[in-house]
Amino acid sequence: MIIYVQLEKALHGTLQAVILFWKLLSNTLKEWDSKIKNYDRCILNKIINGKKCTMIWHVNNLKRSHTEQVYVENILKTYR
């Protein structure tokens, strides 16, 4: 017996889910006017309040850093 279904959202772990996540992330970063590194497309830097904010990601895992916690928390709220 074979059952076919149509999903309303991307299934975690599929190529479609990764592509959708990348599009969301890319569009958000463009809105923030962030600078993605030419040598590694998964690293970006942006100066916020005079200090560097760095984000590194792999698939759907993000690492953010900034000296002021409020900026890291704002980034977290964007992706929930």
Asked whether residue 16 is assigned to any structural domain, the reply reads no
Residue range of the domain that includes 80: 35-80
Asked whether residue 8 is assigned to any structural domain, the reply reads no
Q: What is the pLDDT of residue 60?
A: 64
Asked whether residue 50 is assigned to any structural domain, the reply reads yes
Asked whether residue 70 is assigned to any structural domain, the reply reads yes
Asked whether residue 30 is assigned to any structural domain, the reply reads no
Q: What is the pLDDT of residue 38?
A: 72
Asked whether residue 7 is assigned to any structural domain, the reply reads no
Asked whether residue 79 is assigned to any structural domain, the reply reads yes
Asked whether residue 48 is assigned to any structural domain, the reply reads yes
- pLDDT exceeds cutoff 60 at 79: no
Backbone angles phi, psi at 56, to 5 degrees: -125, 135
Helices (H), the chain: 15-31, 69-78
48-62 average pLDDT score: 80
Provide the whole-model pTM.
0.57
Model confidence at 24, pLDDT cuts 50, 70, 90, reads: confident
Provide the number of structural domains found in the chain. Answer: 1
The CB-side HSE value for 9 (13 A sphere, CA atoms) comes to 4
**Higher-scoring residue by pLDDT: 76, 30:** 30
Q: What is the pLDDT of residue 68?
A: 83
Two tokens, residue 59: 């698939």
Supply the mean pLDDT for the chain. 77
